[in-house]
Amino acid sequence: MAETPDTPQTNNKTLRTSLVTSQRESFASSLMTGSFDQYVNAFAVFLGANSVQIGWLTALPQLAGGVFQLLAVWIGQWLHRHRLIVVSAALQTAAILVVLSLALPVWTHPIPVLLGALILFHICANLIMPHWRAWMGQLVPDKIRGRFFSLRSRIAMLTSFVTFIAGGVLLSGSEKLAYTWVGFFILFFIAAAGRGASTWLLSRMHDDETLPTHGDRRTLRQMFSHLIGLLADRDFRRFALFMAGMQCFVALSGPFFAVYMLRDLEFSYFQFAVSTGSSIFAQFLMLPLWGKICDRKGNRYVMAVGGAIIPILPVLWLFSDFYPYIIFVQILGGFAWSGFTLAASNYLYDQKPRHLHFASYAAISSSMGALAVFIGALAGGYIIDWIPQDISLSGIRIHIERPIAVIFLLSTLLRAAVALWYLPRAPELRIKQRGRVRDLVIRVARFTPISGVMIDVVNKRRRKTD
């Protein structure tokens, strides 16, 4: 008897094909992550962007992305998520191709075009994120869930890191030959090729989602009312404000480290890549250890340890420009950020009542963070531009050799203030039903020029409210 499309054998074959394709897609999309995300600010410096423009290049794409993350679930009621993900990935490829074209030495005003391309890129990234989580959570069977996401995460980590370091070698070589634009062109071509291949692979995967009926769909007003209503929970509101405040004051200085390394310290692109890569590598190495510590000591403890170190990181850059010392500071930052990011992700998961969906809490927290990054990055750019190099106080002339140093000091003080406001009063949440942190699978979502690695945590067993 011939098999029909509905027989278990065919379904199993379709599932296996989709899972194998997903692992290949992880490799392709990680080529983009390693060759694009962390090099955008370096590219803006190459194009001659000033501090205000760097601020806008970080602020506006983050804000647009945050708004569309709020809208993503509502849009998914009207558009099949598979089509939405594939179209968004294709538009990301187009955005990278626009950035690639800016490397050609023919543009007179490239920064506004770069800003528009980054806005499109971040909007698509935030449209993809919640639907990809839901899709893969539904697709991957429980019995192989841990192995599948662990392998996928290792592929992503290794590919992204190797691509990132190779990008530094490529740019340094092209800079020595006085053809830096060629290096950026090749680097972003790799990113576009990776996302293009990723888009094709995503289109080949199976998704049997059915759209909700018209009566089951929420209106835009109902969705926003639901999300705003979550802030009535005092503990969640305080945590969301803490995370937003921390992101704001991290963004005050974060986008300008590339400027500081490449323009003020005159690092080569290889030195820039190794310096930034040491922080990323430290995060990769520390994530499993932090998971065990979270289980033993609690998420609040790990968040407090990271929150005690993160405020001092910017001011440490001012003590010396000795390259090995900078590497040490970057590794210390990777150590702190990996623990803080993992613990904060788990802490947010523990905040929600068991009957509510995690996506709603993640969306409102991320959107508040995006608004905070918008404010912080813009403020940082304008403050650097405003600070004069010579200040006279009571007849005493003070020369500020590097105005960006003022931002580093200010960022340290404000980060510390936010940490001291929240962390000593934060309750410890121990949710036994969730299981151990070490039993979660950590997925690297993307790199950011602000805090390095952005992660998702995935349960090894499917939860209705994940």
Q: Using the predicted structure, report yes or no on whether residue 452 has a pLDDT greater than 70.
A: no
Average per-residue pLDDT for the chain: 84
pLDDT grade for 170, boundaries at 50, 70 and 90: very high
Mean per-residue pLDDT for 228-243?
87
pLDDT grade for 4, boundaries at 50, 70 and 90: very low
Mean per-residue pLDDT for 107-122?
95
Which has more pLDDT, 359 or 162?
Answer: 162
pLDDT of residue 293: 87
Domain range summary for the chain, segments of one domain joined by +: 16-206+217-459
pTM comes to: 0.86
- Tell me the pLDDT tens digit for each residue of 54-73: 999 999 999 999 888 888 87
Sign of the C-alpha dihedral, residues 448, 59, 227, 80?
negative
Q: Which whole-number Å values give the CA distances from 330 to 51, 280, 283, in the listed order?
A: 22, 9, 10
Highest mean pLDDT out of 163-167, 205-209, 358-362: 163-167
Measured CA to CA, the distance from residue 244 to residue 251 in angstroms comes to: 10
Closest Cα partner for 38 from 163, 177, 130? 163
Residue 158 structure tokens: 């290794």
- Tell me the pLDDT tens digit for each residue of 427-436: 876 554 445 5
Closest Cα partner for 428 from 299, 342, 304? 299
pLDDT of residue 6: 44
What is the DSSP code (8-state) at residue 207? -
pLDDT grade for 460, boundaries at 50, 70 and 90: low
pLDDT of residue 441: 57
Share of the chain above pLDDT 70, in %: 83
The packing angle between helices 358-386 and 323-351, to 10°, is 140
Highest mean pLDDT out of 5-9, 33-37, 168-172, 254-258: 168-172
Q: Which residues pair with 111 in a beta bridge?
A: none
Place of tokens 């310096």: 275
Mean per-residue pLDDT for 6-33?
80
Residues 6+ apart with CB under 8 A from 183: 170, 171, 173, 174, 175, 269
Which has more pLDDT, 82 or 437?
Answer: 82
Which has more pLDDT, 291 or 351?
Answer: 291
Q: Using the predicted structure, report yes or no on whether residue 112 has a pLDDT greater than 50.
A: yes
The packing angle between helices 110-139 and 81-102, to 10°, is 150
Q: Using the predicted structure, report yes or no on whether residue 268 has a pLDDT greater than 60.
A: yes
Q: Using the predicted structure, report yes or no on whether residue 76 has a pLDDT greater than 80.
A: no
Mean per-residue pLDDT for 185-210?
92
pLDDT of residue 3: 42
Q: Using the predicted structure, report yes or no on whether residue 297 has a pLDDT greater than 90.
A: no
The CATH class that applies to domain 16-206+217-459 reads: mainly alpha
pLDDT of residue 407: 93
Q: Using the predicted structure, report yes or no on whether residue 30 has a pLDDT greater than 70.
A: yes
Q: Using the predicted structure, report yes or no on whether residue 291 has a pLDDT greater than 90.
A: no
Q: Using the predicted structure, report yes or no on whether residue 138 has a pLDDT greater than 70.
A: yes
Mean per-residue pLDDT for 217-230?
76
What is the DSSP code (8-state) at residue 436? -
Highest mean pLDDT out of 144-148, 274-278, 293-297, 376-380: 376-380
pLDDT of residue 1: 39
- Tell me the pLDDT tens digit for each residue of 398-448: 667 788 889 999 999 999 999 999 999 888 765 544 455 555 555 555 556
pLDDT of residue 66: 87
